[in-house]
Structure 1
Amino acid sequence: MSLKVNGQVRKCQADGDTPLLWILREELGLTGTKFGCGAGQCGACTVHLDGQALRSCVMPVESLNGRSITTIEGLSPDRSHVLQQAWIEHQVPQCGYCQSGMLMAAAALLKATSRPTDKQIDAAITNLCRCGTYPRVRAAIHTAAARLTPLATKKGVKT
């Protein structure tokens, strides 16, 4: 089967019920997406499927043929994405294990909602962080949103 991962069509050979997470990590070598709980609860494995946040540890690969998948490696190869810059500025990561999933969830949120409220952030970012950096995550999302909104307005996108 073929998957479009980070803009490139990639072939994979696996049983259809193999979770996407294992294809990404083991077959394609994209190890930025992490295994956390294996039950879709913690969010460490969050990627985008056709632009929507998805927990890859519970998504069978057979349902993804030809669909577009973006991993943390596809968000930005050099940490230049506005969210990654805000994460660094607000010193969000401590251990860092959950951060790729959090960033992917935040990117999907900002794509859907240009200026999210704290309540919207809390509803969208359900990823678990053992270090408890949630206030810094929220601040970083607000910073990124503020930086993105003027860009959207200049391009004629309603915010």
Structure 2
Amino acid sequence: MGVHQIRLTINGKTFVEEAEPRMLLSDFIRENCGLTGTHVGCEHGVCGACTVIVNGSAVRSCLMFAVQADGEEIQTVEGLSQNGELTPLQQNFKECHGLQCGFCTPGILMSTSDYLAKNPEPSKKEIKEMLSGHLCRCTGYDGILKAIQKTVEDNKETILIEGS
């Protein structure tokens, strides 16, 4: 079996680490790269806590082997904020009480960031459908939904102001 050298770019930084072929990407990110914002919950792709962006698409990192990600561009929750500034989505999660224990939050932020980049004006129903792939045991989803809706509305206002 042996170990393989894996080269990834995570949040703009290159990591070259060794991993066994059966090592999950979620474990590689946490253990080998020291980025513990990616949470591991169910390890079956059901809870969504381990969601990261791989080459521009949200994926469950517990369903992907590290060797499959060799050479890929990955973004984790640590890569969302820039220069210590929260993204509008992160700020709205804070303001709208979209988190409590915070375990599910990184995965939801990553999925939502990817989703809004591809669908900037989703309906409430579409947002709920996107969130159906994430398990949160604390908030009842109200704050999460409000935070995402506020982000969508803020983006519309920004577009209107910039387009005027």
Please confirm whether the aligned pair reaches a TM-score higher than 0.5, indicating the same fold: yes
* Deviation, structure 1 residue 136: 1.4
Tell me if structure 1 keeps the 8 A contact 2:98–2:146: no
* 1:18 counterpart letter in structure 2: M
Q: Which of 9, 12, 25 is equivalent to 1:4?
A: 9
SS at match of 1:85: helix
| 1:57 matched to 2:62 | yes
| 1:127 matched to 2:124 | no
Identity rate, percent:
37
Structure 1: runs of 5 or more not aligned: none
Larger Rg: 2
* Deviation, structure 1 residue 149: 3.1
Q: Distance in 2 between matches of 1:33 and 1:59?
A: 14
| 1:149 matched to 2:162 | no
* Deviation, structure 1 residue 133: 3.2
Structure 2: runs of 5 or more not aligned: 1-5
* Deviation, structure 1 residue 129: 0.3
* 2:67 counterpart letter in structure 1: E
SS at match of 1:108: helix
- TM-score calculated relative to the size of structure 2: 0.88
Residue 80 of structure 1: aligned partner: 86
- TM-score calculated relative to the size of structure 1: 0.90
Tell me if structure 2 keeps the 8 A contact 1:2–1:12: yes
Q: Which of 112, 129, 145 is equivalent to 2:118?
A: 112
Q: Distance in 1 between matches of 2:51 and 2:23?
A: 16
Residue 100 of structure 1: aligned partner: 106
